[in-house]
Chains A and B, each alone.
Chain A
């Protein structure tokens, strides 16, 4: 299957700082990327959908000013957690899809710890 690389795999940051997570499709062009959040022992919750060149569509309850998503190219989407707080600590996963009826492939996830 296609490869989606997410970086970093884990990050620790101080409260009040911002952290950027990258999601790259390595061998295909991703017209759409999805960002999920997963709390321990829970399922994946969709945060937002981003289409290349367009503003991201956020799910209800997700603060768009806090979780900035950029999808400026067909191979890269970024999620920036701004002014991070301990409650933002979580596992963040991206997935990428080449087209409407194609498979979505997942990155390996990023464990964010805010101290």
Chain B
């Protein structure tokens, strides 16, 4: 079974600084998708960024970018120019090919210090 590991239960960053959240996963599949979701206090799950495993280029969405290392099965999220609104729980998630559900890591709680 696929597993997703987030080794940082909590992280903090100064406003306007950069922070990197770590994620590793385990799978025997070659075709899969990786995601980072943000869950603010409202608990609405918000997609931050996604990466298709077959793409070598790292995904980028404005201030959010990933470092996808397929051989190492690593998928870290970098948040640049951190803002107070970035404070939330961040979940790394994996989805295999086909009609399969998301598998989530345990999450990292990010605090942004003004």
A residues lining the B interface (CB < 8 Å): 1, 31-32, 34, 38, 42-44, 46, 49, 51, 91, 93, 95, 97, 100, 103-104, 106, 108-109
19 contacts across the A-B interface (CB closer than 8 A) = A1-B47, A31-B99, A32-B99, A34-B101, A34-B102, A38-B43, A43-B104, A44-B91, A44-B102, A46-B101, A51-B99, A93-B43, A95-B45, A95-B102, A100-B98, A103-B50, A108-B42, A108-B43, A109-B43
Contacts A32-B99, A44-B104, A46-B103 known; 4 new A-B pairs at CB < 8 A: A46-B101, A46-B102, A97-B99, A108-B43
Contacts of B104 in A (CB 8 A): 43-44
A18–B101 Cα distance when bound, in Å, is 27
CB distance from A44 to the nearest CB of B (A): 5
A43 to B103, CA, bound (A): 10
> Top 8 A-B pairs ranked by shortest CB distance?
A106-B45, A43-B104, A43-B106, A100-B99, A44-B104, A34-B101, A108-B44, A109-B43
Q: Is the interface of B mostly helix, strand, loop or mixed?
A: loop
> Which chain B residues have a beta carbon within 8 Å of chain A's beta carbons?
42-45, 47, 50, 91, 95, 98-99, 101-107
- Residue ID in chain A nearest B93 by CB atoms: A44
What is the distance, in angstroms, from A91's C-beta to the closest C-beta of chain B? 6
